[in-house]
C-alpha cells in the first residue's frame, strides 16, 4: 500500500445519509440506503463512498454514506433524512489504495495514513473517506483518504 498526496474526491449528483452501525454490518446500511433511493425513484450511477465520522476502532461506527445518482433534481421524503449535493468535492487529501482484502487491511491502512500525517508534520482536517472504485479489467479496489493541512 502506497500513499499519495494532493488527491481529490469529486462527484456530481450525490445523495447521502447518516448511519450508525457495527463495522461488520456496513453492508446492511448500504442496502438500506440503496432501497431508500429506489423507493424515491432515483437510480444509482455506481459511485459509492462513505466518510467515517467516528474513530475506526469504535464499537459502533458513525458514517455518512454517499451514492452517486443519475438524476439531477431528486425528491426524497423528508422522513428519510437523505441529503443531495449537485456537486461534491474534497481537496488536499492524503490517500492510500487497498487493492484486495479490504476488511482485513482497512485498520492497517488507517494507521498508515495517521502515521504518515504525523511523520510529515500534517494535521487531519476532514473525516476519513473510503471510496470504492472499479478496476478497468473488472473488480473493485478501495481508496482511503483524509484531508491534510500543514
What residue ranges define each of the domains in the chain, with the CATH number in brackets?
A: 3-149 (3.20.80.10)
Strand partners, 98: 142
DSSP 55-98: -TT-SSEEEEEEEEES-SS----GGG--EEEEEEEEEEEEEEEE
pLDDT of residue 37: 97
Whether pLDDT at 17 is above 80: yes
Q: How far is CA 149 from CA 42, 124, 125, 143, 146, in A?
A: 36, 7, 7, 19, 10
Dmax (CA) for the chain in angstroms is 47
Whether the Cβ atoms of residue 64 and residue 94 lie closer than 8 Å to each other: no
pLDDT of residue 24: 85
Whether pLDDT at 56 is above 90: no
| pLDDT tens digits, one per residue of 71-99 | 999 999 999 999 999 999 999 999 999 98
pLDDT of residue 57: 78
Amino acid at each position: 500500500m502506497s500513499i499519495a498526496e494532493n488527491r481529490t474526491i469529486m462527484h456530481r449528483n450525490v445523495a447521502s445519509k447518516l448511519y450508525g452501525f457495527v463495522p461488520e454490518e456496513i453492508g446492511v446500511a448500504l442496502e438500506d440506503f440503496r432501497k431508500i433511493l429506489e423507493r424515491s425513484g432515483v437510480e444509482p450511477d455506481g459511485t459509492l463512498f462513505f466518510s467515517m465520522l467516528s474513530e475506526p476502532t469504535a464499537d459502533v461506527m458513525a458514517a455518512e454514506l454517499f451514492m452517486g445518482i443519475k438524476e439531477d433534481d431528486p425528491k426524497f421524503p423528508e422522513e428519510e433524512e437523505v441529503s443531495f449535493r449537485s456537486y461534491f468535492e474534497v481537496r488536499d487529501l492524503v490517500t492510500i489504495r487497498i487493492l484486495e482484502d479490504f476488511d482485513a487491511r482497512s485498520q492497517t491502512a488507517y494507521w498508515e495514513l495517521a502515521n504518515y500525517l504525523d511523520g510529515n508534520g500534517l494535521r487531519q482536517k476532514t473525516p476519513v473517506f473510503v471510496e470504492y472504485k472499479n478496476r478497468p479489467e473488472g473488480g473493485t479496489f478501495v481508496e482511503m483518504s483524509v484531508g491534510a493541512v500543514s
